[in-house]
Structure 1
Amino acid sequence: MPALPRPASGPGSRYTARAATTRLRPAPARRHTDITALTHRLTTRDLWLTAMVHEHRVLTAPQIARLAFGSLRSAQRRLRTLHQHAVLDSFRPLVQTGSAPEHYTLGPAGAALLAAHTGCELPVLRWRPTSTGRIAYSPSLGHDVGANELLTHLAAHSRHTPGSGLTLWLSERSCARRWDDMIRPDAYAHWQDLPSTAESPRALPFFLEYDTGTQSLSRVEAKLAGYAAFTTSTGTRPALLIHTRTASRDRAIRQRLTQPARDLDLRVATSSMDFTTDTPWGPWWTPLEPAARRTTLTGLAAHWTDLTPAAGLEPNDADTALTLPVPPLPPTAQA
């Protein structure tokens, strides 16, 4: 099975911190800024994809295909059309071997379209013409793509297994908007699974820390205090999942964090890229508990019966329609 993307730098890295190519549009498309002309061209899936790319900053063509299309080829055809009309921007980063997939970000027409659709002014989106370049050259590109790779697999699972998958997925930016005074996880999500028709769905609300090995163990340990403060102050208890780059890093984190997690009464589980490939819902997660064994996300939900969703997710907590959660999967109806 193919491994998830490696970190942006350091041992095992695949991405460099600069773009190799940026796809150019035909001259008429580059001049096109009138979003009213797009109203008869865009489907509800296109509108969802525009919001999704803005929410998660950058998504690759395979990730988008996994979430919303029947095949990579059909996704690429539609993505080319959206790129030609400046709804999306794209670039392809340099890699040490082979070639990277096309990476998509929000384009100028997409930013104007999203602002109009949500009733916001364009500056509220914090989009700039240089946004794609900043993302392409960012040293955190590999981290962001890796976290999105993990979560798009989880979100897309319900397309093939009804009743299982993500019902909610917030990006790092959305998490910071809600809880930056205490924690800043790489994502927050709700995993749901229906083991059998005789049982009710099992839910696993969780924060994700996507660890690429660039932070010291002491800094990773220091994050636990914020999660403990969050649990105490909000009266809610999501799990904390830490996904690491290698099995050795996973062992080091477990050795360092097991006792602090127990002292703070946190529900923490770890996994690594050496275990988790394209089935991250599988038996790859180990609770930070003595003699614990690897289990599935559903197994974690069954093991931790006191989990509750995080506070601050109600619709009235959103400042604007733009800050409402974007559904992990597109709507089924097409315009």
Structure 2
Amino acid sequence: MPALPRPASGPGSRYTARAATTRPRPTPPARRYTDIVALTHKLTERDLWLTCMVHEHRVLTAPQITRLAFSGPRSAQRRLRTLHQYAVLDSFRPLVQTGSAPEHYALGPLGAALLAAHAGCELPALGWRPSATGRIAYSPSLGHDVGVNELLTLLAAHARHTPGSGLTLWLSERSCARRWDDMIRPDVYAHWQAPSIAAESPRVLPFFLEYDTGTQSLPRVEAKLAGYAAFTTSTGTRPALLIHTRTASRDRALRHRLAQSARDLNLRVATSSMDFTTTTPWGPWWTPLEPAARRTTLTALAAHWSDLTPAAGLDPTDADTALTLPVPPLPPTTPA
């Protein structure tokens, strides 16, 4: 069997993931759960939400799941271990150059069957295959996908500690492609909501995200702006475009390259990098692509760009199913 390709960067760039991409799944004491009917009294609403989230966003790490839905690593670890034993989730841990990577979770066979049952469709219509976890583990885009989800789970979890502030909508790359692939294919579409002040309505920042890892040339990134301009013109809506890069130097290079095009196309663009956002991406780390602009917060961007409007194509249609509707960024409840 030929060797699998090695990613150019990110997890697995120096070492490939271990051959067994999923941990051995021990048999529970009473019996091995072989169908979803046996789990009807075992799975909570949070479990069902998590299954949908993992399917929507392909792969979530244990720390990302913890910050979204659990009070701490111990409670998260216990529940994730149980869901892995039930085959609702699969997991793998890629090898990295230094230290150790966290456990990565993908949709397991019973999780796929569960979602298909909820959607009233056959398993092949879900797009899941037995090799799905292995494909994710060895994918050259694994580092990119985990990076996108790291940024967005930090934004989503902010609402757990600051009520009224956080993500109210989070669409994955796959969901964006389903809606707008004829014009644009962002990594994320989301709504950031700031807490309301006095009697004012909460400010909302609708935005597309381009998560730039530095692998694409500057001209190729610049070429994407025309698609966003066409989207604004054809739909009559105007979300912001946030571009997040790995380093401050890449950020400066992008700003220099994109500034004139963004002005010519009348786009609302802001950039930042991992050097700044760290664990508080909602903070004063985003710089509008405008002359003499300074770094500011997501909330301030919403106030600065008063002409922003949510993207078109978000209303549910008769063609939607339980699998195509947006998954709430946080679970229905967040028990300990």
Answer yes or no: same fold by TM over 0.5. yes
**Partner residue in 2 for 1:214:** 215
Moved segments of 4+, more than 4 Å: 27-31
SS at match of 1:95: coil
Q: What are the Cα deviations for residues 184-228 of structure 1, in whole angstroms up to 9, with x where unaligned? A: 000100000015334321100000000000000000000000000
* Higher strand proportion (structure 1 or 2): 1
**Partner residue in 1 for 2:204:** 203
**Partner residue in 2 for 1:310:** 311
| Cα distance, 1:317 vs structure 2 | 6.5
| Cα distance, 1:113 vs structure 2 | 0.4
**Partner residue in 2 for 1:113:** 114
Whole-Å Cα distance in 2 between the matches of residues 50 and 78 of structure 1?
12
Q: What are the Cα deviations for residues 261-314 of structure 1, in whole angstroms up to 9, with x where unaligned? A: 000000000000111100000000000000000000001000000000000100
Question: Please, which runs of 5 or more residues in structure 2 have no aligned partner?
Answer: 1-6
**Partner residue in 2 for 1:5:** none
Asked if the contact 1:50/1:88 (under 8 Å) is kept, the reply is: yes
Give % identity.
83
**Partner residue in 2 for 1:252:** 253
Instruction: Give the TM-score of the pair, scaled to structure 1.
Output: 0.94
Question: Please, which runs of 5 or more residues in structure 1 have no aligned partner?
Answer: 1-7
Against the structure 1 CA distance between its residues 75 and 187, is the aligned structure 2 distance closer, same or farther, given a 3 Å change threshold? same
Tell me the matched-pair count: 325
Asked if the contact 1:207/1:241 (under 8 Å) is kept, the reply is: yes
**Partner residue in 1 for 2:185:** 184
Against the structure 1 CA distance between its residues 246 and 317, is the aligned structure 2 distance closer, same or farther, given a 3 Å change threshold? farther
SS at match of 2:92: strand
Asked if the contact 2:68/2:156 (under 8 Å) is kept, the reply is: yes
**Partner residue in 2 for 1:233:** 234
**Partner residue in 2 for 1:331:** 332
**Partner residue in 2 for 1:131:** 132
Q: Which sits farther off after the overlay, 314-323 or 136-145?
A: 314-323
Asked if the contact 2:62/2:104 (under 8 Å) is kept, the reply is: yes
Q: Which sits farther off after the overlay, 207-216 or 119-128?
A: 119-128
Whole-Å Cα distance in 2 between the matches of residues 312 and 18 of structure 1?
40
**Partner residue in 1 for 2:16:** 18
Asked if the contact 2:55/2:107 (under 8 Å) is kept, the reply is: yes
Instruction: Give the TM-score of the pair, scaled to structure 2.
Output: 0.93
| 1:282 partner letter | G
Superposed CA RMSD: 1.7
**Partner residue in 1 for 2:159:** 158
| Cα distance, 1:133 vs structure 2 | 0.1
Q: What are the Cα deviations for residues 84-117 of structure 1, in whole angstroms up to 9, with x where unaligned? A: 0000000000110110000000000000001111
| 1:9 partner letter | A
Determine whether 1:287 maps to 2:285. Answer: no
Determine whether 1:9 maps to 2:5. Answer: no
Asked if the contact 1:250/1:271 (under 8 Å) is kept, the reply is: yes
Whole-Å Cα distance in 2 between the matches of residues 247 and 269 of structure 1?
13
SS at match of 1:322: coil
Asked if the contact 1:44/1:333 (under 8 Å) is kept, the reply is: no
